[in-house]
Chain A
Amino acid sequence: MPLVVYLLLVLCFVLAGPRTVALAVAPRVSGTPNVTADIQIGFGGHVVPDVWIPAFLILRSDRAVTGTIEVMTVRTRPPATERVRVRVHLLARTPHPVTVPVIIREIHAPVAVRLLEGETLLAEWRVRIPPIRLAEAVILALSDRPIGLGRILGEESRTRIAYVTEEDLPTRWQMYEGVRAIVIRALDDRRVVPTQVMALAGWVAAGGRIAIVAPPPADILSRTTLRPFLEERPLPPAPAGKAEQVYPWGRGQVTVVSLDPFRPDLEPETAAIWTRLLTAAPAPPLVDRTLLEVLPGTLGASPLVQLLIVMTLGAYLALLRPITRGLQLGRPGWLLAAGLLGATTLAAAILSAVVRQQSSGIVQGAVAEVLLAGGDLARIDTFGHIVLPRGGAFRVRSTPDTLIRPLSGAETTLVLAEETRLEGRGEATLAVHATALGPLVVRGFYRKSPQGVEVEIDNRTGRMLRDPQIFLDGRVQPLPSIGERVRATLSPFHWREPPSAEAVRGARGRLHALAFSRLRANAIINPTIYMVAWLHDERGVLRWNGRPAAPLLIILPLSRAPGDAP
């Protein structure tokens, strides 16, 4: 009899397929609704560790619930508990899909999913991820024939294929972080909402790759979702002749291939093209966590407090004479000396408390790389240290499209609501990374002439671009601050080497130097002219109550001016 039950359970699991990782009914407590959840972690149940991946939930409740879904992951090295919270409004007896961005650090630790109404726990589910679901990367396939792509990658590959539907496409571009490419063979525009399209476009602009399978008559190319990607002229020459056309889109690209990889009789030529497309590494972001190395690990006191400290110590030096003289005058003198020493010590203690109060906060460097000059889209990466010299609670906020991840061990909660908040408790210093895509209306053009390089910057952000510098062939030349528009011819004699990060003082100077070093490394592959400037804009930047937000370092690739011959 137990064997029959076991076989039935196995049969149920097989029939349910890989989509359902957990189907659970919450233990019912009196007064609480009966809630069930269909939970899947990662695309197709495949988990790419240490990156943002989607947790798909379908919730059903027997009564309406306005509450919060919390997904909790843990890791042991370093010990940390990370929660992500999103608001949900469940209608009675209506399936409610929710997608929560999560990061799985250690696959053996179960993922806890909780439904909270206020602070009351309504239901809790624990999801165990089988080790076989661990993947190096995922390739998404939107196809009406969901089979056959795996044979291109081979059995050795640790990249997994996830056959998804339009509904599975995330509404936040960051959740594509573990995705190497998307293969689209069939797409129904009616099942895709604008936020999904924007997330897809943002991900490609940030370095993602889409491969569209378009065998003649290539009807798929007329889909509203895909048409914007194909409006630019394709890159010449196509690597595989007429069978493949590549359309650049920001740092990423969209490739249209007329050969179908889903065909049962896969030809070697088709397999070769698709192997190349599916195994190509995505473009890395311009800045990574090495940015943390140029940031100070602590916050300094304000100049006013520093001045007060110097004045207090100076006054104390002056008081040494009355103190030593007082010690010679008997008891009244001793009292005077003790009073002077005590008063100075008290003043020092007060200043010390002020310094300590000021030393909690965030030190951050934010870099905005303009990806689509025409679409005015920029990727904003902010790396920072949350500095808590005596430990304790913290809260940083950012714009709602931002996702913030802790990079070191701490107890954190990421709240995704009208604004993004990262809350928690930490010891000394917690490194964090925030990433967002947003419109940034700055355009730049250049034209090369015998007199030098002529640049034109059109700034429609409404704020001044400060300390702008033009980067060309590893050298820089400064421009005056830019209000709305500037046109200047750069002298061929005024280019200079940018300073190295070790040679400059201050976090801003070091961040500038880091950006130049990255552009120099990038220039080997992509010899573009860039403008680098500071902009006071809060998008994607982390905010700490009572402290001004850090400025954004904008990196704008300049386009060749219309009519300028290459």
Chain B
Amino acid sequence: MTIKLNPVTRGDLRSRLASPKLLWVLRLYVAVLSLLVVLSLPSEVGRLSQFVEADLVQAFLLFQLGWVAYLTSALAVGEIGVEGEKAVLDLAATSFSPVTIALGKFWTSMLTSGGLVLLALPPLVLLAPLTIGSIPGIALAVLAMVVLVAPLAIISTWLAAAVASDLLRPVLHWSVLLGLFAATRWLGDPFVLVNPMRVVAAAYRGAPHAWPLALLPYLAIAALGCVLTGRAVVGWRREVALR
């Protein structure tokens, strides 16, 4: 059995897995999450009796969400540069179709966020209660995390293609991050549920039951991101053809 990957995705993953810089980024990511787990083990942290196990797992998942969202989107926007990885405009110069490029970048982000989630398994297992009942909540929360991060990453990919200024691009990237994580906290009910932290917490706790509906806007953003990225490729090619 062979897995047929999008050629863009295959190239990106090969570059990322071979990158020494990314290895250090991964080490930092795992080390920070591990530190959170180690600090939560002694009695000093547990002194607050109301800060019980379930809250600790939820806090871990939200902390992890922040890291996964930042790393995935920063890799997509080029804020964390990976040696050998081709940007959207580099790929536009190749024979790949705009759809292949856009979907390839989307799958790259999906697999990157999925990999980051998988790499955090050992520290998460240390913290989470080992009961059958706790597994669905945690599984849904990490799945929701991947679904939430991928649209953010594909929008970042589009930003990398559409914004030429090296100064403006990180500003816009951080604005998108802050807008998604911070600004949505001020939305009124029920729109506040689209806040990614609320979505992950709801997926973990299983309440409110309608939390999967909050993923629909993210899927729409992912589709929009793919379209915009494809259009950026088409636009660039048209511009080159006009010259």
Q: A residues engaging B (CB < 8 A)?
A: 296-301, 306, 309-310, 312-313, 316-317, 320-321, 323-325, 327-328, 341, 344-345, 347-349, 351-353, 355-356, 363, 385, 389-390, 428-429, 505, 507
A344 CA to B30 CA in the complex, in Å? 13
A310 neighbours in B (Cβ, 8 Å):
38
Are A317 and B27 in contact, with the CB atoms below 8 A? yes
A345 neighbours in B (Cβ, 8 Å):
121-122, 125
Are A317 and B31 in contact, with the CB atoms below 8 A? yes
Are A296 and B44 in contact, with the CB atoms below 8 A? yes
Are A328 and B48 in contact, with the CB atoms below 8 A? no
Are A356 and B34 in contact, with the CB atoms below 8 A? no
Contact A355-B129, Cβ < 8 Å, known A320-B27, A328-B14, A341-B118: no
B46 neighbours in A (Cβ, 8 Å):
296-300
A309 CA to B43 CA in the complex, in Å? 15
Choose one: A320, A325, A353, A505; the contact of B130 (CB below 8 Å).
Answer: A353
A261 CA to B44 CA in the complex, in Å? 57
Q: Which of B17, B18, B127, B129 has the most CB of A within 10 A?
A: B17
Choose one: A320, A323, A348; the contact of B123 (CB below 8 Å).
Answer: A348
Question: Which residue of chain B has the shortest Cβ distance to A301 in the bound complex?
Answer: B41
Choose one: A327, A349, A389, A505; the contact of B44 (CB below 8 Å).
Answer: A505
Are A309 and B126 in contact, with the CB atoms below 8 A? yes
A344 CA to B43 CA in the complex, in Å? 25
Q: Which of B37, B38, B43 has the most CB of A within 10 A?
A: B43
Q: List 18 A-B contacts (CB under 8 A).
A: A296-B46, A296-B47, A297-B49, A298-B49, A300-B46, A301-B41, A301-B42, A306-B42, A313-B123, A316-B34, A324-B17, A324-B26, A327-B13, A341-B121, A348-B122, A349-B126, A351-B126, A355-B126
B56 to chain A minimum Cβ distance, whole angstroms, is 10
Are A298 and B123 in contact, with the CB atoms below 8 A? no
Are B43 and A300 in contact, with the CB atoms below 8 A? yes
If A297-B49, A352-B130 are given as contacts, then 16 extra A-B residue pairs at C-beta distance below 8 Å, sorted by A number, are A296-B43, A298-B43, A300-B46, A301-B41, A316-B34, A324-B17, A324-B23, A324-B26, A328-B14, A348-B125, A348-B126, A349-B130, A351-B126, A390-B129, A428-B52, A507-B43
Are A313 and B41 in contact, with the CB atoms below 8 A? no
Question: Which residue of chain A has the shortest Cβ distance to B46 in the bound complex?
Answer: A298
A505 CA to B44 CA in the complex, in Å? 8
A562 CA to B47 CA in the complex, in Å? 46
Are B127 and A299 in contact, with the CB atoms below 8 A? no
A309 neighbours in B (Cβ, 8 Å):
37-38, 41, 126
Does B215 belong to the interface (CB within 8 Å)? no
Question: Which residue of chain B has the shortest Cβ distance to A334 in the bound complex?
Answer: B3
Contact A306-B41, Cβ < 8 Å, known A345-B125, A349-B130: yes
Are B122 and A312 in contact, with the CB atoms below 8 A? yes
Does B223 belong to the interface (CB within 8 Å)? no
Are A328 and B125 in contact, with the CB atoms below 8 A? no
Number of A-B contacts (CB under 8 A): 101
A385 CA to B48 CA in the complex, in Å? 12
Are A344 and B23 in contact, with the CB atoms below 8 A? no
B49 neighbours in A (Cβ, 8 Å):
297-298, 385, 428-429
B130 neighbours in A (Cβ, 8 Å):
349, 352-353, 356
Are A306 and B122 in contact, with the CB atoms below 8 A? no
Are A321 and B41 in contact, with the CB atoms below 8 A? no
A306 CA to B40 CA in the complex, in Å? 11
A317 neighbours in B (Cβ, 8 Å):
27, 30-31, 34
Does B119 belong to the interface (CB within 8 Å)? yes
Choose one: B22, B47, B119, B121; the contact of A298 (CB below 8 Å).
Answer: B47
A513 to chain B minimum Cβ distance, whole angstroms, is 15
Are A352 and B126 in contact, with the CB atoms below 8 A? yes
B48 neighbours in A (Cβ, 8 Å):
297
Q: Which of A301, A345, A355 has the most CB of B within 10 A?
A: A345
Choose one: B18, B44, B119, B128; the contact of A320 (CB below 8 Å).
Answer: B119
Nearest first, the 10 A-B pairs at minimum CB distance are A297-B49, A298-B46, A300-B43, A296-B43, A313-B34, A348-B122, A300-B42, A348-B125, A296-B47, A348-B126
Contacting residues of chain B (1-27) with chain A, CB-CB under 8 angstroms: 13-14, 17-18, 22-23, 26-27
B83 neighbours in A (Cβ, 8 Å):
none
A347 CA to B123 CA in the complex, in Å? 10
Contact A328-B17, Cβ < 8 Å, known A300-B43, A313-B123, A428-B49: yes
Question: Which residue of chain B has the shortest Cβ distance to A315 in the bound complex?
Answer: B122
Question: Which residue of chain B has the shortest Cβ distance to A390 in the bound complex?
Answer: B129
A312 CA to B121 CA in the complex, in Å? 13
A429 CA to B123 CA in the complex, in Å? 25
B122 neighbours in A (Cβ, 8 Å):
312-313, 316, 341, 344-345, 347-348
